[in-house]
Amino acid sequence: MGMFDTIHFKKPLACPSCGAEITSLQTKDFECGLTSYQIGSVLRGGSVHSGIIKETLWCDACHKAGRSPANSPVYLVVWHTVLAGVERELAKAEARLTAVDRLDLIAWLDEAQLEADRWHRRYSKLHSDVTRWHEHLTNPPGPEPADEEGKRQRAFRRLLSLPDEILNASDPLAAILAANQINSEEHGH
């Protein structure tokens, strides 16, 4: 079967046979590197610089129900190697290709920058938590210091350490990963 790329739709498309929501499609028209794309993504490895690529929607619900999925075409609109749209009708795809403007480019660039910032924050938080866990393992807290300076230093280190529920977990790394997963879901990422 080989590798493919995935195009994620902003709004799900309905299967014309059963009405199930289709949220993405897989294609081998680009670099086939298991890359995920969405509207505004720069496409890599494709032979179309600007134009329209015809694909077919695949309905997993129809397949699981033993029905042959409808042969439902969908058109990928590519504008200067940027995925500019996904349309169900060729005429709409052609109109979309001619209607790309600077405001579209600015919106796509803004979304790409916001997404990069979100991923950077998530990575930094996870990296920080794993680093603090490593520091805890390599320099575990000793007995309570007797002098005031030692107590202040220990209190300061406690401020920067991981919460006790993570440090005392049976698998602290799993607890760190779970805490970061919860954080990403709370922020809608």
Report pLDDT digits (tens) over 65-114. 888 766 789 999 999 889 999 999 999 999 999 999 989 889 888 888 88
Cβ contact 55:37 at 8 Å? no
Q: Say if residue 47's pLDDT is above 80.
A: no
Mean pLDDT of 25-50: 86
Q: Residue 134, SS3?
A: helix
Cβ contact 154:145 at 8 Å? yes
Parallel, antiparallel or unpaired: strands 5-14 and 36-37: parallel
pTM score over 0.85: no
Q: Residue 148, SS3?
A: helix
Cβ contact 166:179 at 8 Å? yes
pLDDT, averaged across the chain: 85
CA angle, residues 125, 119, 170, in degrees to nearest 5: 40
Query: Percentage of residues in the chain with pLDDT exceeding 90?
Result: 30
- The token duo for 139 is 């320099």
d(CA 187, CA 189): 6
Mean pLDDT of 144-158: 75
32 contacts: CB under 8 Å, gap ≥ 6: 2, 3, 4, 5, 45
Q: What is the CA radius of gyration of the chain?
A: 25
39 contacts: CB under 8 Å, gap ≥ 6: 10, 83, 84, 85, 86, 108
